[in-house]
Structure 1
Amino acid sequence: MRAVVVNSFGGPEVVEVVETELPEPGAREVRIKVAAAALNPVDAGVRAGVFGGAGKRIGLGWDVAGTVDAVGVATAWSVGDEVVALDYGMVKPVGAHAEYVVVPADAVAKAPTTVDAVHAATLPLNALTAEQALGLLEVTPGQSLLVTGAAGAVGGYAVQIAAHRGISVTALAREADEELVRSLGAARFTAGAIEAGSFDAVLDAAVLGEPALEWVREGGRYVGVIPHAEPASVRGVWTGAVEVSADGARLAELVRLVDDGVLTTRVAETFALDEAAKAHARLDEGGVRGRLVLVP
């Protein structure tokens, strides 16, 4: 089968499509025939060597939508099930950017019925990150939440999930994105000029760090999206960062929100698997609204 890998670190030029052995599922695992797989900033980080693995062949890709093709023992899934999953792992020989991928059975959820596989592939990593970040923030209905980078994939899902739960969301984004983030459910919008201590909680999807921390009230909560890179606590503000984990049960709840029209999946552009390097180059250009998706 074909798979997207890097054998050395660098820019998009190091991305290769290679022939490799078809993986076999073990106990409590399933193999998915990939219909679509989103490209995320973490893939660019892996490609650049941010997470280590020098000297190894590293497979890329975390998000997958497709069809169960084979199952190991002790799984509840059946061949032919249409699913989505998070293929967690920084350094792995094969990732979701491949024709087939093996994942733990408990990382899998039924695919949405209201969107196609290309759109479904944009859900697992970014929506789970948003959901788990909101859990760390412990924000409740009636409290105020600022989401930085609200027009991005994680930020956009966070706005929608929080607004659906009755949380008052202010979106920080570029002025050109105001209409978009308001359509996602933000009650208020700002492109800057935020008063210090204005919010009960801040989800810093734009990775602003200390400036965003200043916008949290005394004793509030701040969560970033890069593990172990959150700023130090000040004024009694709890600080942390989300490290996403695969969670098929939680992913199933997010799928339900897609089918209920609460969550909007956004695709910027699709690329054939053989065009993976081209997709990485487009990601590096920036300004992408929605996800780039590879289609084997």
Structure 2
Amino acid sequence: MQVVGVEQFGGPGALAVHEVPQPHPGSGSVRIRVQAFAVNPTDTGVRAGQRDSSQASPPYVPGMDAAGVIDQVGLDVSGWEVGDEVMAIALPLSTHGGAYVQELVAPVGSFTRIPRGISIEEAATIPMNGLTALQILSRAALAPAQTLAVTGAAGLLGNYVVQLARAAGITVIADAAPKDEPLVRSLRPDHVVLRGASFARDVRALVPSGVDALADASVQQDEVVDAVQDGGAFFSVRGWEGNRARGIRFDRIMVAQEYRSFDKLEQLRHAVESGTLTPRVAEVLPAARAAEAHERLEAGGTRGRFVLTWE
């Protein structure tokens, strides 16, 4: 089968299509014929050699989001059949590898049916970012009317955090650059403040004591931590351990811990079907143009996700 990956870590140009043996599902797993896979910022770290690759061998294959059709079912699997359309989270550099593949072996629990009424390409944007958003909200454990600030609200992770938090009755303060304000307002946060250096000050103007929690989807770290109240919570998606300020709980979000979180995948499916969650595709490209997708993603300003498909 074909995969997109790197023989040697490097820039986007290191990505290429490679032929590898076709995998088969073992007990408790299925094989998914991948039709679409999303390009996320974490994928660029795999490509560049910024992740632990000691348990993998080349070609190193990125990708945490896939959608397609089950074409083989392993032993001891019930409730799933050949032909089921599913969306899955994948773990690059681990046993079953990343999502930039034509065939993905996925253990039960790491996939669910795609939501009704959306395309395979849209479904490919949901698992990894959706599970990240749910992990943040689960660990925040905010009650209705408590306050959550979200940086990077215009990005896909930020979109999902805002929408899921609002559905839970949480008061949401989201940031937006002027060009992104219409998009962010469409997510229906309670308040929108300007993205950038004034963020913490603007949040404090709305909530003088500071917010109960902050989801730092745009990785602004020290620049925005003053928006959080004493003893509040700060959620980092890039492993920041925080500055130990004012009794704030600094929590590093690791979506790999959600690899078999079937109940949360089902929650995401229902959220899309109910209109609570809006998948967002920036552009669909053929898999052979993965390097271009990585270049454009790293250039910044992408709204939604590039989705790659096998021709």
TM over 0.5: yes
What residue is the counterpart of 2:218 in the other structure? 206
Q: Which amino acid aligns with 1:7?
A: E
Give the aligned length. Answer: 295
For 2:172 and 2:219, locate their aligned partners in 1 and report how far apart those are by CA, in whole Å.
Answer: 18
Rounded to whole Å, the distance in 2 between the matches of 1:109 and 1:162 is 22
Compute the displacement of 1:154 (Å).
0.8
Q: Is the 8 A contact 1:59 1:91 kept in 2?
A: no
Do 1:209 and 1:230's aligned partners in 2 also have CA atoms closer than 8 Å? no
The Cα shift of 1:53 comes to 2.4
Aligned partner of 2:228 in structure 1 is: 216
The percent identity for this pair of structures is 40
The correspondence for 1:66, drawn from 65, 68, 75, is: 68
AA in 2 matched with 1:233 = R
Measure, in 2, the Cα distance between the counterparts of 1:259 and 1:99: 27
Residue 243 of structure 1: CA displacement?
A: 0.3
Shift of 1:89: 3.3
Equivalent pair of 1:46/1:91 in contact (CA under 8 Å): no
1:152 alignment counterpart: 155
Ranges in structure 1 where 5+ consecutive residues have no aligned partner = none
* Deviation (angstroms), 1:292: 0.3
2:39 is matched with: 39
Q: Does 1:259 align with 2:266?
A: no
Deviation of 1:94 after TM superposition, in Å, equals 4.2
The answer on whether the counterparts of 1:133 and 1:241 sit within 8 Å (CA) in structure 2 is no
Deviation at 1:178, TM superposition (A): 1.2
Partner residue of 1:238?
A: 249
Classify the secondary structure of the residue corresponding to 2:68: strand
Residue-by-residue CA offset, 1:188-238 (whole Å, 9 max, x unaligned): 1011523354211101111111222211011111111113x2313221111
* TM-score under structure 2 length normalisation: 0.91
Which residue is 1:8 aligned to?
A: 8
Structure 1 SS opposite 2:166? helix
Cα distance between partner residues in 2 of 1:79 and 1:239: 43
State which drifts further: 117-126 or 234-243: 234-243
1:281 positional shift: 1.7
Alignment check: 8 A CA contact 2:86 2:113 kept: yes
Pairing 1:1-296 to 2, within 5 Å after superposition: 1-53=1-53, 56-57=57-58, 58-76=60-78, 77-90=80-93, 94-192=97-195, 193=198, 194-195=200-201, 196=204, 197-227=209-239, 229-244=240-255, 245-246=258-259, 247-296=261-310
CA root-mean-square deviation: 1.5
- Say which SS state the counterpart of residue 244 (structure 2) adopts: coil
Counterpart of 1:284 in structure 2: which amino acid? E
Question: Would the alpha carbon gap of residues 91 and 26 (structure 1) be closer, same or farther in structure 2, given more than 3 Å must change?
Answer: closer
Mapped to 1, the partners of 2:121 and 2:299 lie a distance apart of 21
Q: CA offset at residue 56 of structure 1?
A: 3.2
TM-score where L is the length of structure 1:
0.95
